[in-house]
Amino acid sequence: MQNHAGQNKLYFLADELGRMGVPVTVLVPDIEENRAFFSDKPHVQARLYRGGNALADAWHKARVAREPTWSAIWIVGVGIRSYIARVSTARSAPIIKDFDEFPSMIGTFGPLRRAYLRWMEDRMVEQAQAFTCASAFIEQSIRTRRPDIGSHLLRLPVAICADEHRIDPNLVERLRRAAAGRPVLLYVGSVSRIYEDQLDEIIKLAGVLRRRASPALVRIAGTGADMEYFKARAAAAGVGDTLEFAGHVRRKGDLAAHMDAAQVLIFPFPANAFNISRCPTKAFHYAAANRPVVTNMTGEVATLFRNSALYYPEHDIEALADRCHEALEHISGYDNRIPFSTLTWEARARQFISWLAAHQWLPAGSNAPA
């Protein structure tokens, strides 16, 4: 679960639950980033274990699940490592399975990996007593397969950490100076072939802007294993004076500054199977930035932004460029009217607590708000 949205969900929900007075324990591998995150959070009991192969991890988690202390067991992730069979649990503690996406729908995975993930998703849907899910597609999929589930399913979108969205004005000023007066169209995301369709559209957008002699600068904030591959693609397209790779941007502090320094945020999000199933964290960062967003009318992104975004037909790069210029013309006084408080893990934790309480799944001794 390293460098994964599920890892952030586990981190921030556990932190918020603990702060709100809910006794919470996390069971995570003994790696540096897990130790670092929980080292200053005494309100969360972090149980670190030495990771092994998938079966060894599953066996260790099954042993922990049999302890007679849990009011509920919440599982993040898809795979053998995250699978806890119903017979492994003590008493009647429900297994609550979280899905923020169906990874079997990732088109860049090979057929064997996708078949394995699909098989694991099916097993997890069959064995859990309750679910949290991040998208309408996943909710409908689970309800179709589990018509008995009723109120034991909670729609719980992803969110952002409020403490991380702090703007460094000095960094904003440096970024604006670096742009030399050119308006910045910012794309944030991992530079990975998993998102090749999106990154290809960004490179093609830079080409259209260059052909139109637009002053706009397209900036990609993020890094990944395929950075050199996409830099080569950009070089071959001849867009070096219109497209800039900013490299790694820290989520805490720096990301908010990059978005604040930009005039427009870009998010190609075509309606493929994976995108329809997921709820991208990036959209919530974009909403917190309160900048015009140019995107496709797809899934949870369209649900979040509704009428505040500028939409273009997917894969239509000329229309994408048109919407970007339209956004630049209307930047003054822009307000997406999305309350920041609705985008945070604190809001999700309160929603989660209310649902757990309604089903009597909160642990004894909880002092959480109703």
Measured between alpha carbons, how far is residue 53 from residues 5, 47, 79 in Å? 22, 18, 12
Instruction: Report the chain's C-alpha Rg in angstroms.
Output: 22
90 has pLDDT over 90: no
Across the chain, where does the E strand assignment appear? Answer: 25-29, 45-49, 73-75, 95-99, 130-133, 153-155, 184-188, 217-221, 243-247, 264-267, 293-295, 310-311
Question: Whose CA is closest to 314, among 334, 299, 330, 326?
Answer: 299
pLDDT at 87: 55
pLDDT above 90: residue 289: yes
Q: What is the model's pLDDT at position 86? A: 62
SS3 153: strand
**8 A C-beta contact, residue 37 and residue 161:** no
Q: What's the chain's average pLDDT?
A: 92
pLDDT category at 2 given cuts 50, 70, 90 is: low
Give me the mean pLDDT over the 262-279 stretch: 94
Whole-angstrom distance, CA of residue 349 vs CA of residue 328:
36
238 pLDDT above the threshold of 50? yes
**How far is 67 from 84, CA to CA, in rounded Å?**
13
User: How confident is the model at residue 53, as a pLDDT?
Assistant: 86
According to the model, what pLDDT value does residue 133 have?
96
- CA pair distance 355, 353, nearest whole angstrom: 5
| Residues 42-74 pLDDT 10s | 999 999 998 888 888 888 888 899 898 999 999
In this predicted structure, what is the pLDDT of residue 1?
Answer: 47
pLDDT in tens, 179-218: 999 999 999 999 998 889 999 999 999 999 999 999 999 9
Percent of the chain clearing pLDDT 90 (strictly above):
79
Total residues found in the chain within this entry: 370
Which pLDDT score, from 0 to 100, does residue 365 have? 80
Per-residue pLDDT, 332: 85
What backbone phi and psi angles, to 5 degrees, belong to 99?
-125, 115
What's the burial of 8, exposed, middle or buried (CB within 10 Å: 0-12/13-18/19+)? buried
Residue with tokens 């996390």: 26
Q: Which domains does the chain have, with CATH numbers?
A: 5-159+344-358 (3.40.50.2000), 163-339 (3.40.50.2000)
Q: Are strands 45-49 and 310-311 parallel, antiparallel or unpaired?
A: unpaired
pLDDT of residue 251: 86
